[in-house]
Amino acid sequence: MATGTFDFSQVTFTFAGFGISGYGDVDDAITYSRRNDMWELIVGADGDSVFVKKGDKSGVVVAKLLPSSASNDTFSAIALAAENGIAVPSPLMVNDLNGRSLLAAAKCMCMKIPDGALGKNLGTNDWGILCADLDIFVGGMV
């Protein structure tokens, strides 16, 4: 039986050439997903079926940052520049050095300034990054 170890400090995240850090105290500090399925099954009236491959490899990566994280400034500057007409799709990479998992995309944009709330307890700033062609490799641990 295989046994692995995991240390979140061994996960690196870069966006537009900037290292991202200062994650919230949450179980899912970085999440990722494809926006659509890779395949669709079409079933005809007589029960015959066909699998249709979808070409959409777009996806979303979300970084959940503490309000004190300097990476909020990085994301804000990139998002506001895009909102004001300086939209430059930028590369993203998330590398789990605990094993072999890797996320990579060459053309990504901040989806929006995150929703927020101020009160007795501070939550996280959830930065959604929309990726045009997100490569996802879910590997094992070392």
Name which residue leads in pLDDT, 87 or 39.
Answer: 39
User: Which residues form the domain of 60?
Assistant: 8-137
Residue 51 lies in a domain: yes
* Reported pTM: 0.91
Q: Is the dihedral of CA 65, 70, 71, 73 positive or negative?
A: positive
Residue 142 lies in a domain: no
Task: Provide the percentage of residues in the chain whose pLDDT is more than 90.
Answer: 88
CATH number reported for the structural domain that contains residue 56 in this entry: 2.40.30
What is the distance between the alpha carbons of residues 28 and 65, in angstroms, rounded to a whole number?
A: 11
What is the distance between the alpha carbons of residues 110 and 80, in angstroms, rounded to a whole number?
A: 9
The count of domains in the chain is 1
